[in-house]
C-alpha cells in the first residue's frame, strides 16, 4: 500500500518506519526542512531505542523516504496519516492549527479517492473538522473518507508498542472504509476495535486521563502514608494484586509529565466544559500532580535546612527513562524550585543532557556521569528512574558526597539497603532512613 505520513515527530516517524517495515511504500512529509535533511542523512531527530536501525533498514530497501512536498506525497498515496503536533493553549484547549493546515494541503492536492487518517491526538469532533476543511479546499469535488486511528505508543518503547499494541482502534464512517485500515494492520495480528469516529477520538483521551488519575490517586495515598508512617510500596502491592485495579501506573513518585498526559488531561477538561460538563475529578488529578515537585523540594528543605548554601545533584532529567524528551519533565520544576531557594545544582541524564542545557539556567552544571554530578554534593535528588541508576556503585557514590543523603523521587532503592550502606534516605510515601 502507498502511504503518506504527515509529521516526522515521535508518532509520525515511528508510524512511518513500522508501516515500511511491514512492506508498504511510505513517504514521511514534514515542513521542517532541517529535520528532513537530517533524516535523509540517517540522523534521528529523537532518541528512541530501535528506531534508527529500523529507519536505516527501510530507507536502504527503498520502502521509506522523506520529503517536504506534501502535494506530491498526497497524490502518490492511497492512505494519508496526519501525525502533527497538537499542543495545548494556555486555556487547556487543543491547538489544532497544524492539523487544519495539513487538512487544507491535502484538500488542495487531492486528485482521487483517499482515506485520510487522524493519528494525532485530537478532541472529539476533529474528524468532522478535517472533513470540512478538505472539502472546502478541493479545487473540484473528489470522494474521500476521514478515519480516526489514535496511537497508544509510549516514548521509550514506541517501536514495541507500534508492532505489538494491546489494541488497535479504528473509528470510521462505514465498515467498508474501516477495512482499509484493517488490511493495513492485519500483519500485526493484534486485537482491533472498530467504532464510529467520535468514539475513537474519545477512547484516546479517556484512556490517558484514566491513567493520569491512577497516578495522582497513588500519590495522594503516598501523602497519607508519609503522615501515618505506612509504606506506600506495600499499599501498592496490596492494591495492584486486585485484578480490577492492576499494578500498572500505580507507582508513587513525582507524578506524570511528557508530551501526552498533561495536555490530554487539560484538553479533556476543556472539551468537557465546552460540552457543558465540569470535570471536577480531572481538575483534582491536575492539582495533585502539580504539587509533586514542590513536595520533594519541601522534603529536602525539612531535612537539610536552608538550601541556599547547599549543592544538590539532580539525577535524571528526561520526563521518563529511555527518551531524551524534556516536555513537562518533573526535573524542570524541581530544578526551578531548588534554584529559587538558592541551591547550587549539578545534573546528569544518560541521554537528555543536550536537550536539558537549552532549557535550564546557566547556573546548572552538567556532569558526564552520576558520579561526576554527585562529587561534593550535599544531597542527591533522583528524578528519573533510569535503569543505569539502579546499578550505580552506591558505596562509591557515598564516598564522593559531602553528605550521604538521597531524596528518591521514584522509590528506586530499598530503604533497608540504603540503611546498610550508610545513607540518609528519603523516598515517597515511605518512612525515611535517618542518620544514626
Helix H or strand E encompassing 99:
helix 97-109
Q: Where are the alpha helices (DSSP H) in 278-401?
A: 280-290, 292-304, 330-340, 353-357, 370-374, 387-390, 394-400
C-alpha cell at 68: 517536504
Chain position carrying cell 514506541: 158
Chain position carrying cell 508498542: 161
DSSP 411-423: --S-HHHHHHTT-
Chain position carrying cell 512529509: 29
Strand-pairing partners, residue 147, are 117
- Tally Cβ neighbours within 10 Å of residue 322: 19
Chain position carrying cell 508498504: 24
C-alpha cell at 55: 529507519
Helix (H, G, I), strand (E, B) or coil at 315: strand
The torsion angles phi and psi of 191, rounded to 5 degrees, stand at -60, 135
Burial class (CB in 10 A: 0-12, 13-18, 19+), 41: exposed
- Tally Cβ neighbours within 10 Å of residue 365: 14
Torsion sign over Cα 179, 185, 190, 194: negative
Distances in Å between the Cα of 83 and the Cα atoms of 14, 90, 254, 337 are: 10, 22, 29, 35
Which residues are catalytic, by number? 260
Chain position carrying cell 487538512: 103
Q: Assess contact for 166 and 152: CB atoms under 8 A.
A: yes
DSSP 276: T
Q: Assess contact for 398 and 372: CB atoms under 8 A.
A: no
CA-to-CA distance for 314 and 410, rounded, in angstroms? 13
The torsion angles phi and psi of 168, rounded to 5 degrees, stand at -115, 120
Q: Assess contact for 1 and 78: CB atoms under 8 A.
A: yes
Amino acid at each position: 500500500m502507498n502511504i503518506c505520513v504527515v509529521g516526522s515527530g515521535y508518532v509520525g516517524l515511528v508510524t512511518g518506519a513500522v508501516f515500511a517495515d511491514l512492506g508498504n511504500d511510505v513517504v514521511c512529509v514534514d515542513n521542517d526542512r532541517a529535520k528532513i535533511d537530517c533524516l535523509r542523512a540517517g540522523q534521528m531527530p529523537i532518541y528512541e531505542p530501535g528506531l534508527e536501525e529500523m529507519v536505516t533498514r527501510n530507507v536502504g530497501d527503498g520502502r521509506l523516504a522523506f520529503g517536504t512536498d506534501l502535494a506530491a506525497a498526497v497524490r502518490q498515496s492511497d492512505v494519508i496519516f496526519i501525525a502533527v503536533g497538537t499542543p495545548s493553549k494556555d486555556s487547556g484547549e487543543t491547538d489544532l492549527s497544524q492539523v487544519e493546515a495539513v487538512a487544507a494541503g491535502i484538500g488542495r492536492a487531492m486528485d482521487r479517492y483517499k482515506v485520510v487518517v487522524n493519528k494525532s491526538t485530537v478532541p472529539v469532533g476533529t474528524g468532522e473538522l478535517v472533513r470540512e476543511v478538505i472539502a472546502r479546499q478541493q479545487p473540484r469535488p473528489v470522494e474521500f473518507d476521514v478515519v480516526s486511528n489514535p496511537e497508544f505508543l509510549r516514548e521509550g518503547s514506541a517501536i514495541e508498542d507500534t508492532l505489538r499494541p494491546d489494541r488497535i482502534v479504528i473509528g470510521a464512517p462505514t465498515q467498508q472504509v474501516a477495512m482499509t485500515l484493517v488490511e493495513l494492520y492485519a500483519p500485526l495480528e493484534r486485537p482491533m476495535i472498530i467504532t464510529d469516529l467520535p468514539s475513537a477520538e474519545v477512547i484516546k483521551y479517556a484512556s490517558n486521563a484514566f491513567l493520569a488519575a491512577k497516578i495522582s490517586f497513588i500519590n495522594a495515598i503516598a501523602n497519607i502514608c508519609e503522615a501515618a508512617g505506612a509504606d506506600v510500596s506495600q499499599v501498592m502491592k496490596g492494591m495492584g494484586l486486585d485484578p480490577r485495579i492492576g499494578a500498572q501506573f500505580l507507582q508513587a513518585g513525582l507524578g506524570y509529565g511528557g508530551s501526552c498526559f498533561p495536555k490530554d488531561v487539560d484538553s479533556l477538561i476543556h472539551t468537557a466544559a465546552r460540552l457543558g460538563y465540569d470535570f471536577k475529578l480531572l481538575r483534582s488529578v491536575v492539582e495533585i500532580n502539580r504539587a509533586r515537585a514542590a513536595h520533594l523540594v519541601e522534603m529536602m528543605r525539612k531535612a537539610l535546612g536552608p538550601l541556599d548554601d547547599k549543592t544538590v545533584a539532580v539525577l535524571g532529567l528526561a520526563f521518563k527513562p529511555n527518551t531524551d524528551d524534556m516536555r513537562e519533565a518533573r526535573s524542570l520544576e524541581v530544578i526551578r524550585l531548588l534554584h529559587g531557594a538558592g541551591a547550587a545544582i549539578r545534573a546528569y541524564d544518560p541521554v537528555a543532557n543536550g536537550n536539558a542545557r537549552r532549557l535550564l539556567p546557566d547556573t546548572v552544571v552538567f556532569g558526564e556521569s552520576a558520579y561526576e554530578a554527585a562529587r561534593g554534593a550535599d544531597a542527591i535528588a533522583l528524578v528519573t528512574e533510569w535503569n543505569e541508576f539502579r546499578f550505580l556503585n552506591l558505596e562509591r557514590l557515598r564516598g564522593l558526597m559531602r553528605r550521604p543523603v538521597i531524596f528518591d523521587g521514584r522509590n528506586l532503592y530499598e530503604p533497608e539497603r540504603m540503611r546498610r550502606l550508610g545513607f540518609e534516605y528519603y523516598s515517597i510515601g515511605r518512612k525515611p532512613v535517618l542518620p544514626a
